[in-house]
Every structure is written in structure tokens, then in C-alpha cells.
Structure 1
Amino acid sequence: MRRLSGTLAALILAVAGLAAATAPAAGAAPTAAENCSVTWGSMVKAEWDSDYRPLVGIRSGRHDCYDRLVFDIDGTAADRIGYYVHYVSQLRQDGSGDLIPVKGGAILEVVAFAPAYDPETMEPTLPETKVKVDGYRTFRDVVVAGSFEGQTQVGLGVRARLPFRVFQTGNHLVVDVAHTW
């Protein structure tokens, strides 16, 4: 009996030691995989309310777990920015229906309810600069397809159909696409 209880005690100590060696210490920084877990999904994201303020810039950024596209709006934090974002098999220009080529394994169509022109003067507000995404982990291409009836359409070429989120912060519309599922 003493031998069985000694063996059982040794086994319990060994298992406890193994668990302690593999469990993170309290307060330890989470691993990259834990930091990058997302619950965003890849279905349509939309917000219909908008103040239709002019779009004045589009820029991109890289983060540890996602790539980011930011739409800068000429307005205040109180202005609402509407949007409709979804995956498409090909990008077709609003109004004309023309096919717009976008590089990548999947295409996110981003429609910002913000014209790329001043509604009063009809002068363009969006500089004709190319959004650079070379070397990004998820983004492959950003193509401004045009601005039609108060909405600006952008094709965002991504590596694959990955989860994304869309939100407004201040006078910015933000689209984040995760690096992995």
C-alpha cells in the first residue's frame, strides 16, 4: 500500500510539474497567437447613416495581427460616416459597370458614403495618390474605382478571404483585415 501511494504521489507531482512548466505565469504576456485571435468574420459590414462629408485621404498601416486601411473624412468626430463593405468576386465600377482590376486572392469592396469631391463646387477632394501596400502581410492592392452619387468605391485586394472589421473613430473610417483566421 505504501509503495502504491508513493507511486501515486510521484505521478501527481510529475503531472503538476508538467502543467506548471507549460502554463503561462500569472501576469505573463500573451503569445502572438493569443493576441491575434479575432472574432470579426468575413460577412457584410454596413452602417447606413451618414453625413456625406467629403473624403480627403486614404492611407494604410501594418499591425502585428492585421493590415489597416483608413479613410480620412473632412468633418468632425460628430459626423457619421456610412459604409458598405463586403467580399466580391470582381470589382465593377458604380455607374458604368466597368470591370476594375484589383490584385489579390480576394477583393473587398469598400463603399464609403463620402464623396471624393466637394458637393458644392464639384472640385475633387481626394488626391490622386496611390496607396502603397508593398510588403504588407495581407493587403495586395488598393484601387479607387471612383466616386458616384456621394459614395466613393474602393477595391481592396487581399491575400485571401480573411476576417475583417469596420468602424468609425473620429472623422476616420477604418477597415482592418486580419492576417489569419
Structure 2
Amino acid sequence: MGATSVVAAAPIAAAPAVTAPATACPTGWGSLEKTRASTTTAPVTNVRTGRQACYDRMVVDVPGAGSSALGYTVRYVDRLHQDGSGRPIPVGGQAVLEVRVAAPSYDPETGAPAYPGRAGRPLPGVDLTGYRTFRDARFAGSFEGETQIGLGVRARLPFRVLVLNDRVVVDVAHNWTGTP
């Protein structure tokens, strides 16, 4: 008779859990008005939005302006009023950011529209479904070389404004802390 050998199976060690590093969100942006003086005759041609881990982003494209010629004013307002007429424009959300870009939304030589926005209407092509911070985005108009947009957000949250090549970028944080 042959001997039977029994081999005990070694216990299987559980692999250590791997967790993704926490996203460190920027802090210190604040909610006060941000302004940069400059103007361009290059027109606004597009407005688009995107979602990031820590903030929602709006980008205003001004091809041909370059970064040094782009000016802006971004601030919280109690109510958005259209330049020129003073007409109030309803914007959804608990707080409203007025975004002014110192560029027209029309061709300054011909007067033809360069951006298809209509005063008081949602921004063309912008769908804010699924955004954590953005609630509404309305075109207010273009008056005396400035394009005006109302950005409705869920609360008066910190924001920053960046000027990159041919665009103004507005980032609104998801919350006041540095965590997503």
C-alpha cells in the first residue's frame, strides 16, 4: 500500500486594498469680483462648459484675441440686468454670476452675429444636466463691445477666472472646502 500524503493548503493572504489618492481641490479662490482690464475687437464665437472633479467650468472662446487682449469682469449679482436696456434676465439657481468678456459677440465691421446667442435665452449648445454647481446659463447680449452672460449656480461658491490663449475660463468650485 502506498502512503498517502496530505498537503495543507497555505492560507491565501488578502491583497491590500488599493485606494485612489484623494483629489486635492484648489482653495483660496474666494467669491469677490474678479476683473482684468483689456479689450479686443475679435468676437466671441462659442461658449462651452465642462465638469471637473472639484469644479464646473465655463469657457468663452474668442479666436484671434490672444491672451493679452482679453479682459473680463466676473461677479455675483442679485439679479442679471441686460446692458443698454436694463431689462432683468431671469437666471435659474440660488446665485447668479455675471460674466462679462470685453469682446463683442458680433463682427465689429459688418455687425453680423459671430455667436448665435439670443438675449434672455439659454446658451446655444450648452446642456447643464449632471453638473454639480451650474444650474443655468443665459445669454444677456453684447453691448458696446462687451458680451454679457448670466451663470446660475447652486450657491454663492468660490470661483476663479483664467485667461488662456483665445479664451476666458470661469471655474466655480463645488464647495468651499478643498475636497471634492
Give yes or no for TM over 0.5: yes
**AA of the residue aligned to 2:29:** W
In structure 1, the partner of 2:167 is 172
Q: Distance in 2 between matches of 1:98 and 1:45?
A: 24
Q: Distance in 1 between matches of 2:102 and 2:137?
A: 18
Q: Distance in 1 between matches of 2:48 and 2:169?
A: 10
Q: Render the CA deviation track for 1:26-46: whole Å, top value 9, x for unaligned.
A: xx97523xx114110000000
Q: Distance in 2 between matches of 1:143 and 1:94?
A: 14
Q: Distance in 2 between matches of 1:172 and 1:127?
A: 17
The alignment status of 1:65 with 2:54, answered yes or no, reads yes
Name the TM-score, length of structure 1 as normaliser: 0.80
Q: Is the 8 A contact 1:162 1:177 kept in 2?
A: yes
Q: Taking structure 1 as reference, are residues 78 and 108 closer, same or farther at Cα in structure 2, changes over 3 Å only?
A: closer
The alignment status of 1:161 with 2:152, answered yes or no, reads no
**AA of the residue aligned to 1:52:** T
- Secondary structure of 2:92's match? coil
The alignment status of 1:50 with 2:39, answered yes or no, reads yes
Q: Distance in 1 between matches of 2:142 and 2:62?
A: 14
Q: In angstroms, what is the RMSD of aligned CA positions?
A: 1.5
Q: Taking structure 1 as reference, are residues 63 and 131 closer, same or farther at Cα in structure 2, changes over 3 Å only?
A: same
Q: Render the CA deviation track for 1:19-73: whole Å, top value 9, x for unaligned.
A: xxxxxxxxx97523xx114110000000012223200000000000000000000
Identity of aligned residues (%): 53
**AA of the residue aligned to 1:120:** E
Q: Render the CA deviation track for 1:2-24: whole Å, top value 9, x for unaligned.
A: xxxxxxxxxxxxxxxxxxxxxxx
Q: Distance in 1 between matches of 2:78 and 2:57?
A: 21
Q: Taking structure 1 as reference, are residues 77 and 131 closer, same or farther at Cα in structure 2, changes over 3 Å only?
A: same
More helix as a share of residues: 1
The offset of 1:127, in angstroms, is 2.4
Q: Gapped runs of 5+ residues in structure 1?
A: 1-27
In structure 1, the partner of 2:77 is 88
How many residues are paired up?
Answer: 152
Q: Gapped runs of 5+ residues in structure 2?
A: 1-18, 118-123
Name the TM-score, length of structure 2 as normaliser: 0.80
